[in-house]
Amino acid sequence: MSLLNVERIKLFSTRSPYWCLLLVVVFGLGLSAILSLVEGGANAGVSTSQAGINFAISVIMVMAALAITTEYRFGTIRNSFLAVPKRGKVLAAKTAVVAVIALVVTLITSFAAYYLMVAIHGPDAPANAMDINNADEWRYIWGPAVIVMVAAVIAVSVGSLIRQSAGAIAALLIWPTLESLFPLFGSFGRRVAPWLPFNAGSKFYTAGFSDGQGPPALDGRYPSPNWWQGGLVFVGTAAVLYVVALILLKKRDA
């Protein structure tokens, strides 16, 4: 428990987490407000209220990766291991703190963005566009926060593996882009693409949902994960990276 407090002090005694979290909230609410109002609200919908989600994933991953790479950058990781020589505990506490913060901030932002759009969308919004009728539609509101939380775990793990801010951030930001290129690689690429971690992760909240406003679905000819399969792929990816990071953290000289 005290180690969670330690990581909380570390995180919030530097500036970048405040900026990152502020960006997530401002961007999430800002996009929701803009899409509520442009073209008289014609774009309004449950999915468009969550338009800031990919941005949130990127920013939270940057914050999470920095939480560990800056420790290597400034050498404080050694102080951390001197204070807590059981390195696994340091990684676990850091991951937990970053993940919970990511979950809470994104959850609040998602709900706020939805209700903001409900409140201010323009007169040309499709009828009942903001109605939530079933579990799939609800998941579009709370699901993104879960994916952001898991993305934070991936980012801490990658940060711990690469131990270098620029490298870790580049890897994390290029990764989803690479996944989006897969459909270009013939039928194999199109078959595999929906099951790649970030694509699959997005299925956690997009699967089974369509209000006609969201991004077009992936190529329908190939099977794509349902919401829990997508979630499992993403969580599994995070788990594997975390375990590899943990093993190397214990093995490598600090």
Partner 1 sequence: MIEAVGLTKIYGKTVAVDELSFTVNPGIVTGFLGPNGAGKSTTMRMILGLDTPSRGRALIDGVPYASIPRPLTKIGSLLDANWIHPNRTAKAHLRWMAASNGIPVKRVTEVLDTVGLSAVADKAAGKYSLGMKQRLGIAGALLGDPEILLFDEPVNGLDPEGIHWIRSFMKQLAANGKTVLVSSHLLSEMSLTADHLVVIGRGRLISNSSTADFIANSTTASVRVRSPQLPQLREILVGAGLAVTDVPDGLSITAAPIEQIGELAGNAGITLHELSGQAGSLEDAFIKLTGDSVEYNAHDGLGPVSPTEFTSAQDASPTAGAAPAPYRGN
Q: Does 92 bind partner 1 (CB under 8 A)?
A: no
For residue 249, count other CB atoms closer than 10 A to its CB.
20
For the packed helices 16-37 and 87-120, what is the interaxial angle rounded to 10 degrees?
A: 20
Q: Does 223 bind partner 1 (CB under 8 A)?
A: no
Q: Does 88 bind partner 1 (CB under 8 A)?
A: no
Judged by CB under 8 A, the chain residues 135 through 174 that form the site for partner 1 are: 164-166
For the packed helices 135-162 and 165-181, what is the interaxial angle rounded to 10 degrees?
A: 140
Part in contact with partner 1 (CB under 8 A); list of ranges 83-91, 119-127, 139-147, 194-202:
83-91
**Nearer residue to partner 1 within complex by CB, 79 or 187:** 79
Q: Does 81 bind partner 1 (CB under 8 A)?
A: yes
Question: Out of 38, 78, 88, 181, which residue is the one contacting partner 1 (CB under 8 A)?
Answer: 78
Question: Out of 38, 83, 104, 119, which residue is the one contacting partner 1 (CB under 8 A)?
Answer: 83
Which residues, other chains included, contact 92 with Cβ-Cβ below 8 Å and sequence gap of 6+? 3
Which residues, other chains included, contact 69 with Cβ-Cβ below 8 Å and sequence gap of 6+? 159, 162, 163, 164, 165, 168, 169
Q: Does 221 bind partner 1 (CB under 8 A)?
A: no
**Nearer residue to partner 1 within complex by CB, 29 or 100:** 100
- Smallest Cα–Cα separation from 11: which of 88, 80, 58? 80
Let me know if 167 is exposed, middle or buried by CB neighbors in 10 A (0-12, 13-18, 19+). Answer: middle
C-alpha count within 13 angstroms, C-beta hemisphere, residue 117: 34
Part in contact with partner 1 (CB under 8 A); list of ranges 35-43, 75-83, 193-201, 212-220:
75-83
User: Which residues of the shown chain bind partner 1 in the complex (CB under 8 A)?
Assistant: 2-3, 5-6, 9-10, 13-15, 69-76, 78-86, 164-166, 251, 253-254
